Amino acid sequence: MKRQGFLLGFFSTGAQVLLLRELVSSLNGSELFIGTALFGWLIAVAAGAYLGGRANVGTKPKALFGIGALLLPPLIIATRLSPLLVTNVVGEIIPFSTAAIISIVVTLPVGLLSGWLFTAILKSYREDAGSIIRLYFIEGIGAGVAGIVITLLVGAVLSTLAMAVAIALVVFVGIVIASRSWRPARDVPIVAVALAAIVPAALLAPRADRTIDSIKYVSYHVISSFDTPYGHQAILTRDSTVVLVTDNTVEAVEPDLITAENLLLPPFAYKPEAKRVLVFGRTEFGIEQLAGKLDEIELTAVDPRRVLSSEMDVLSSGIQVARVTDDPLAFVLRGGTEQRFDMIIVNPGDFGSFQGSRLVTERFLNATKQLLSPDGILYLPTHYDSDRYVTDRESKPLAAIYNTLGSVFRQVEIWPGNMTLFFASDRAAFNVPYDSLISNLSELTYAPQYINDNYLFDRLSDFKKTRLLGSVGSSSEINSQNRPVLTHYQTLYRAKFSNLDNRIASLVLEKHWWYVALPILILAFLVATIIRNRRRRSYGLFLYFVAGLISLSLEMISFYVYQTQAGSLYSELAVLIGVFMFGLSAGAYATYKTAARHADVSALLMLSTATLIFAATYQSVPTAMLLTYHLFFLLTVALGTGSLFAAATRRYYELDPGCNRGAGYAFELVGSAVGAILPTTVFMPTIGLTWLLVSVLLILSSAIAGCLLTLRQR
């Protein structure tokens, strides 16, 4: 069981992470899509575990492992090419409804196999509750190792495809070794050959990535295709055009003069004497070229993608740029540089993810403000079109941005247009006549072709500005760490391009009446399991569900808070995942070995205490202590969850160990699936983080009450 259990955890978690990563990077994934894809995976695993437990077919784990290993690399390739089912236009947004269907189809085979493997391994051993806990313990260790290995290697050493091949090789070697006793003289060479085979896979992966992207972007020449820890990048050319594609979305194009001028020149209309400019984002696509035509501009660029910087030789601008490879939020929280800047340009990209929306929060803006000179300007260009009209789908995100800037800076100015532009400062003068703006621009050593008198006269007309100001003034919401509303508003904005997406997004994100359904269903499940508990100890199923729901909810909340407070998440994700998975195993093992009485109540109290302390302290943790704080929090949550899993196993299987041995695991996965899609992606932007944590405490309190009510029935 030890070898097979470890291999199950390693394979299942490895396949899950790689497929979800590829789905997000290939299908323009937002936070809602990430939750949906993870939900689909967990439901598939739950279905596999439940069906495997009911089936009388004696499927060998070796065969299931082999099928899964063979399927994983082709599924990665199929996912990369799946946008061709919808469009062959580079960067065209894949409708959410279509992407969700693709994610279910792609994850279903390996997900079902992973769940089936859990019960297939159990059937090879004696039927008792202890074997389930032991397998859960060993699987958690394998999952922790997989999380650490993938986080450290993918994007830094291996591509997603190369990692899939590596996992397949590890699984095949594991099948051979797990089926017989370990003999170093015989098995060490097998392991060495398998590890050596990963090297050519890593060397051939860039060529394979370029070949796949050449099929995907058939009308372009693929110069480079590679993975970073943050996603998939492709650099394409056609004629004299260079295109940077990030996660199947066009991030930048060169030449694109109108966009380049909108990204750099407008703040010079208020501050033509500005010299020191800080840019959060890529500068190679137009900004550097324009900056080279302005006298004495000192350009500093902050972006975390080191590998991408080395691939940008195709766009050599010839000017000196101080490049900082760092996460924007981490950079400003550390105080940036000693230099103060006349102008800071924040180009956050898509607000549909927390990674983008966190750059428009009070925490980030207050830290960024410290890097500005006293009369410096923060400039934030967006891709919302407010030139002709402003619908409700544009006005809500624009209002949130405007109000958030206003909560930090004394003055905020907004320009309508195809790209709605925001300016913020404490001392810079924004209430200047139109003629003065044009005069300031004429002082530049570069004569703008678009940001000029003819273009701005219509763009900055009193009618358009009044209409836009009236639209953003209709709401007082701000985008904050506690309630990141921008992610919802961006999802609704993107959904308007598809009728089906529009209906789904409106129902999920705007029709809040259905939010009551979840607590009602949980309460009904609680009552039903208490009533049926006398006959089959059914309350254990509710504890399984709570273990999955609470653990994944708190894990996702911790990841979100860490990312919004520390800035960087990817570099620390390995240790956070590893500690959590090992904590699950340790909690289950300790409870199994000690046979503690009322372990379920103790575990629920541990989870409640951890949640309560987190809710009271997460906002006041010093930046230097954030990693330690979240490690201890996740470890506590994992220990409590593992202990609760073991306690639920005792409750459900103690009197009838021969019943469906995948049922409990399946219910835990269903709870995890709900925790993946609803708490952070749907509820948090609506009710806020504080009330989300209160909801977690209410569920835990209900579970404790259920434990006490069923004590006499045991």
* Structure confidence by residue, pLDDT tens digits, 206-262: 888 899 999 999 889 998 888 888 788 899 998 888 898 888 888 888 888 898 999
Torsion sign, CA atoms 609, 613, 618, 623: negative
Q: Amino acid identity of 228?
A: T
Q: In this predicted structure, what is the pLDDT of residue 536?
A: 56
167 & 22 share domain: yes
Contact (CB, 8 A) for 587 and 640: yes
518 & 424 share domain: no
Establish if 582 belongs to a structural domain: yes
Establish if 248 belongs to a structural domain: no
Establish if 230 belongs to a structural domain: no
Instruction: Pick the last residue of a domain from 444, 467, 483.
Output: 483
Residues 6 or more apart from 201 whose CB is under 8 A from it?
158, 162, 165, 166, 169
Establish if 188 belongs to a structural domain: yes
349 pLDDT band, cuts 50/70/90, is confident
269 & 120 share domain: no
Q: In this predicted structure, what is the pLDDT of residue 639?
A: 93
Q: pLDDT at residue 533 above 80?
A: no
Mapping DSSP onto H, E and C, the string for 284-319 reads: CCCHHHHHCCCCCCEEEEECCCHHHHHCHHHHCCCC
> Stretch 428-434: mean pLDDT, rounded?
87
460 & 601 share domain: no
585 & 682 share domain: yes
Question: Rounded to an integer, what distance in angstroms lies between the CA atom of residue 673 and that of residue 661?
Answer: 20
Say which CATH number the domain at 645 has: 1.20.1250
CA 441-443-447 angle, to 5 degrees, is 65
Q: In this predicted structure, what is the pLDDT of residue 402?
A: 94
175 & 288 share domain: no
Question: Rounded to an integer, what distance in angstroms lies between the CA atom of residue 523 and that of residue 58?
Answer: 37
Comparing 221 with 657, the larger pLDDT belongs to: 221
Range of the domain at 548: 511-714
372 & 463 share domain: yes
* 599-617 vs 626-653: helix crossing angle, rounded to 10: 160
Q: For residue 227, which phi and psi values (nearest 5 degrees)? A: -105, 145
Average pLDDT value over all residues in the chain: 85
Residues 6 or more apart from 385 whose CB is under 8 A from it?
394, 417, 418, 419, 420
320 pLDDT band, cuts 50/70/90, is confident
Establish if 219 belongs to a structural domain: no
Question: Rounded to an integer, what distance in angstroms lies between the CA atom of residue 712 and that of residue 710?
Answer: 6
Question: Rounded to an integer, what distance in angstroms lies between the CA atom of residue 703 and that of residue 523?
Answer: 10
Establish if 238 belongs to a structural domain: no
> Stretch 540-563: mean pLDDT, rounded?
91
pLDDT tens, position by position, 51-68: 877 766 566 888 888 888
Q: For the chain, what percent of residues have pLDDT higher than 90?
A: 26
Question: Rounded to an integer, what distance in angstroms lies between the CA atom of residue 260 and that of residue 590?
Answer: 59
Q: Are strands 276-280 and 298-302 parallel, antiparallel or unpaired?
A: parallel
State the DSSP code for 414.
E
CA 68-587-563 angle, to 5 degrees, is 75
Q: Which residues pair with 232 in a beta bridge?
A: 227
Q: The whole model's pTM is what?
A: 0.87
473 & 517 share domain: no
478 & 517 share domain: no
Establish if 184 belongs to a structural domain: yes
Q: In this predicted structure, what is the pLDDT of residue 427?
A: 87
298 & 195 share domain: no
Nearest Cα neighbor of 303 from 320, 323, 318 is: 323
How many domains does one find in the chain? 3
> Stretch 365-394: mean pLDDT, rounded?
91
Q: Is 348 helix (H, G, I), strand (E, B) or coil?
A: coil
Nearest Cα neighbor of 501 from 99, 84, 66, 11 is: 99
Nearest Cα neighbor of 401 from 302, 480, 495, 454 is: 480
Q: pLDDT at residue 422 above 90?
A: yes
Residues 6 or more apart from 680 whose CB is under 8 A from it?
31, 35, 553, 556, 557, 560, 692
Question: Rounded to an integer, what distance in angstroms lies between the CA atom of residue 492 and that of residue 340?
Answer: 37
Q: Which residues pair with 324 in a beta bridge?
A: 302
> Phi/psi class of residue 393: alpha, beta or left (left: φ > 0; alpha: ψ in -120 to 50)?
alpha
Question: Rounded to an integer, what distance in angstroms lies between the CA atom of residue 675 and that of residue 46?
Answer: 14
69 & 25 share domain: yes
In this structure, what token pair is assigned to residue 149? 């290995």
Residues present in the chain in total: 714
**Ranked by mean pLDDT, which of 48-52, 526-530, 575-579 comes out on top?**
526-530
Q: pLDDT at residue 535 above 60?
A: no
Establish if 144 belongs to a structural domain: no
- Residue 348: cis peptide before it, omega within 30 degrees of 0: no
Residues 6 or more apart from 138 whose CB is under 8 A from it?
1, 2, 5, 6, 9, 585
State the DSSP code for 683.
I
Q: pLDDT at residue 414 above 60?
A: yes
Q: Is 117 helix (H, G, I), strand (E, B) or coil?
A: helix
462 & 522 share domain: no
Say which CATH number the domain at 413 has: 3.40.50.150
> Stretch 553-561: mean pLDDT, rounded?
91
